[in-house]
């Protein structure tokens, strides 16, 4: 997917409000792909909800490893037999899925936008597993028609849930940097 399309997707996922929402932080420099591909012109920067950023500083590599998020999602298969890591092993198309937990953790901490496909913020600013997006992509719902179809396995959600619980517990205990 072109970088501009990921920006549009990320803004859609976090409920883009034009940048005036006090619960959203602009991450990185605005990207204007108009110069390279006028058909994918995006005038707004990527937005990441503040609660997700606050939560993300509490993430711990050992929690990611013990939850098996990296391995489970890297090996998740589409209906045509590809694994998520075949296309997303290095964060391609704005989604990281690698068996290398260190790489996934580094990606999550250095590029917070890569958390958005896995986690999002609900209407009460609680962090939740982004089931809606994952299921929409798997079902090839617009704008994901070109993505290979897949069904999210419960073990994949369980791994995300375990990582969420560990991170949330660290946050509640004040164990964040």
Q: What is the pLDDT of residues 94-128, one digit of tens each?
A: 899 999 999 999 999 998 889 999 999 999 999 99
Name the pTM for this structure: 0.74
What's the confidence (pLDDT) of residue 59?
Answer: 97
DSSP one-letter code for 147: S
Residue 143: asked if its preceding bond is cis (omega within 30°), the reply is: yes
Q: Counting Cβ atoms within 10 Å, is residue 162 exposed (0-12), middle (13-18) or buried (19+)?
A: middle
């Amino acid at each position: 997917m072109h970088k501009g399309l990921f920006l549009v997707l990320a803004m859609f996922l976090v409920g883009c409000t034009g940048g005036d929402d006090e619960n959203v932080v602009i991450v990185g420099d605005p990207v204007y792909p108009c110069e390279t591909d006028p058909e994918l012109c995006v005038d707004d920067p990527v937005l990441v909800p503040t609660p997700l950023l606050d939560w993300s500083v509490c993430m711990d590599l050992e929690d990611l490893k013990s939850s098996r998020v990296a391995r489970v999602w890297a090996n998740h298969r589409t209906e045509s037999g590809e694994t998520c890591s075949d296309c997303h092993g290095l964060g391609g198309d704005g989604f990281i899925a690698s068996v290398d937990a260190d790489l996934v953790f580094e990606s999550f901490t250095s590029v917070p936008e890569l958390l958005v496909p896995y986690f999002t913020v609900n209407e009460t600013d609680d962090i939740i597993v982004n089931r809606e997006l994952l299921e929409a992509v798997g079902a090839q719902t617009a704008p994901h028609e070109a993505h290979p179809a897949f069904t999210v396995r419960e073990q994949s959600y369980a791994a995300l849930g375990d990582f969420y619980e560990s991170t949330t517990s660290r946050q509640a205990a004040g164990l964040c940097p």
